[in-house]
Structure 1
Amino acid sequence: MSRKIIIDCDNTFSVSGCDIDDGLAIIYALAQEDTEILGICTTFGNNELDIVFPNTVRFMKDIGCENIPVYRGTTDSCADNEAAKFLVDMANTYEGELSLIGLGSLTNLYHAWQLDHTFYNKINAISLMGGITEPLIINNTSLRELNFSIHYQAALHVLQHANKLIIATGNTCLDGFFTRGRFDKLKEGSKFEGWLYEQAIYWFEGVEKVFHSKGIYLWDILAVAALLNPELFQNNWVDISPDKVSIKNGMLIGHGNTRSVVIPKIRNVDNYIEHIYLSFNKFGEIYK
């Protein structure tokens, strides 16, 4: 029986000046066996919803997966949040089976709970990309946390009340560095891989200018991989204690109630990166 998942994301793949990691995470998820993506929910983070939603609709068409529905979230009222309504509907349909992957702000998940206070109890697992446990620094440049801090009230509620949580923090994602040289090999692959290279190379070039890095960090893929391929990671249980002050900066260590979550740590970085690269290859074979 296939695993049922929904990806909630702030996909800005191919948007000038914006990260490509959500798009890569969607492609990665689609390449995994025994996995059914019931839908894509869109939220804000990398950019505003007016950019993220139509971009994601176009992206799914570009990769040949327009059959997977895309839902628009909101920034304010749960009553008008089509993404949250979809989450509630799927949680009821696949109670105990459905897992969620949150790659942007957690507004839609919070709104789903507002619509149905039993929502969290119906979810098998929630894997998130966001939060920090210490300052996030790349080549002596400090980065601000985004996904949890951008709607910290929603993030705090999910972190304090959702059940089985996996959190790919910004810090742990620094282990998953995808080099420019590795990415350049896509040019030698399938038609899809060539397309992926042409569409994504702008981000490698942008990151190199800012951080002087010969590659990028695959932030969002780690949250997907930790849920779907846990054998690639150490089952690293960590106590977190976010509060209303700490979460404004995405900090998971504060003065709030303590709970244990899984913060996955990559077992073997070389194997992990190779696994991701092969997933891109596999997607190109499946969706020719």
Structure 2
Amino acid sequence: MTDPTTASRQKIIIDTDPGVDDALAIHLAFADPRLEVVGLTTVFGNVHTYQATRNARHLVEMAGLAIPVAHGAEKPYQQPSRDPAHFIHGHEGFGDQPAPAPVLSVDPRSAAQFICDMADLHGKELILCPVGPLTNLAHALDLDPALPGKIGGVVLMGGAVTVPGNVNSYAEANIHNDPHAAEMVFAAAWDVRVIGLDVTEQILCSLQHLEEIAAASPQIGGFLRDVSAFYIRFYQQARAFDGCCLHDPAAVIAITDPDWFSYHKAPVKISLEGDTLGSTRIVAEANRPGVRFAVGCEADKIRAHFVATLMQADQLRAQR
């Protein structure tokens, strides 16, 4: 690991639809001293965008921070909207917990404009970490076609290149929720790393792991344990998993600890029609940029880091 006292922290924007695993990922990023989250941008997906913005503000306040939260796209780039996955994340996004009431104000810029402004401000020091549908990134590309050359890269959670999807046998949920936006992102000439179901379904977190976090960090860890109980019940009933997958946290960890993942690089295209809508498939197109998609990971190290980092969350909050 990089010593944060001798190296600058990695600047990131998390583009998010919180969502239980989004909450896990966001608090993980807040608790990792190697990361500086310069802002959150919100999008539909696990919840409606107004809920995502409210939930993101709540997570920022809980961590004792005051970073910007920019409200993002409320519908897909082209296709009709779909209902949120309430049966996975609960009606308010945090399992069976009631809707929070944060007081932090919303940044006046759109998510797309905020992304472009931060790219101009931070340049190659900035990594975008989208863990929901890629609509805000597509709109940012519309605002600034030169965006891919300005930033350090994109590390996203989405896709299922070598394994079946989780919406159907072809598509993963984030890509399926806005395939047209995903196609724009995958076709752009920036450094893209894809943390998809190919690896995230190998990284399981049990309720016991969350109890360990809650014991060490009762405020933040207790919240994460409580919201995750609903999420874990879904996995137990639908997938017979004894825990939940660390989908979104894996993308954050791929930024801080890239050596824990192995990649294959190839052009990947998004299907935009028919039964395969939203599928992420390798294509042989010489003029299309390759993306690096994770095909392997050190799941035990990733989970151990997740637990150990979040056990420090309350302590870090008290120091802010």
| TM-score bin, normalised by smaller chain | 0.7 to 0.9
**What do the CA deviations read for 1:90-110 (whole angstroms, capped 9, x no partner)?**
111112221100111111111
Rounded to whole Å, the distance in 1 between the matches of 2:258 and 2:159 is: 20
Question: Unpaired segments of 5 or more residues in structure 1?
Answer: 13-19
Distance 1:115 1:121, change over 3 A: same
Cα deviation, residue 56, structure 1: 1.6
Q: Which one of the candidate residues 96, 116, 122 is aligned to 1:94? A: 122
Q: What residue number does 1:63 align with?
A: 63
Q: Which one of the candidate residues 161, 176, 190 is aligned to 2:217? A: 190
With normalisation by structure 2, the TM-score equals 0.78
3-state SS of paired residue (1:126): strand
Rounded to whole Å, the distance in 1 between the matches of 2:299 and 2:292 is: 18
Q: What residue number does 1:128 align with?
A: 156
3-state SS of paired residue (1:249): coil
Rounded to whole Å, the distance in 2 between the matches of 1:147 and 1:85 is: 21
Spell out the pairing of 1:176-255 with structure 2 (5 A cutoff). Answer: 176-192=203-219, 193-234=221-262, 236-245=263-272, 248-254=277-283
Q: What residue number does 2:18 align with?
A: 11
Rounded to whole Å, the distance in 2 between the matches of 1:250 and 1:152 is: 8
Rounded to whole Å, the distance in 2 between the matches of 1:266 and 1:241 is: 17
Instruction: Give the AA of the match of 2:15.
Output: D
Give the stretch that moved more between structures: 243-252 or 185-194.
243-252
Instruction: Give the AA of the match of 1:3.
Output: Q
Asked if 1:157 is matched to 2:184, the reply is yes
Q: Is the 8 A contact 2:266 2:291 kept in 1?
A: yes
Q: Which one of the candidate residues 175, 180, 189 is aligned to 1:148? A: 175
Cα deviation, residue 68, structure 1: 1.1
Q: What residue number does 2:311 align with?
A: 281
Cα deviation, residue 266, structure 1: 4.9
Rounded to whole Å, the distance in 2 between the matches of 1:61 and 1:31 is: 14
3-state SS of paired residue (1:6): strand
Q: Is the 8 A contact 1:81 1:111 kept in 2?
A: no
Rounded to whole Å, the distance in 1 between the matches of 2:248 and 2:217 is: 24
Q: What residue number does 1:16 align with?
A: none
Give the stretch that moved more between structures: 54-63 or 278-287.
54-63
**What do the CA deviations read for 1:126-150 (whole angstroms, capped 9, x no partner)?**
0011111144368xx9584111121
Asked if 1:271 is matched to 2:278, the reply is no
Rounded to whole Å, the distance in 1 between the matches of 2:295 and 2:75 is: 34
Q: Using the aligned pairs only, state the percent identity.
A: 26
How many correspondences in the alignment? 276
Once superposed, what is the RMSD of the aligned Cα atoms?
A: 2.5
**What do the CA deviations read for 1:146-195 (whole angstroms, capped 9, x no partner)?**
11121111110110114111100112211111123322333432323233
Distance 1:194 1:54, change over 3 A: closer
Q: Is the 8 A contact 2:268 2:291 kept in 1?
A: no
Instruction: Give the AA of the match of 1:171.
Output: D
Rounded to whole Å, the distance in 2 between the matches of 1:176 and 1:250 is: 22
3-state SS of paired residue (1:264): strand
Cα deviation, residue 211, structure 1: 2.1
Q: Is the 8 A contact 2:270 2:279 kept in 1?
A: no
Question: Unpaired segments of 5 or more residues in structure 2?
Answer: 1-7, 78-107
With normalisation by structure 1, the TM-score equals 0.86
Rounded to whole Å, the distance in 2 between the matches of 1:208 and 1:34 is: 34
Distance 1:75 1:199, change over 3 A: closer
Moved over 6 A (4+): none
Instruction: Give the AA of the match of 1:209.
Output: Q
Cα deviation, residue 243, structure 1: 4.5
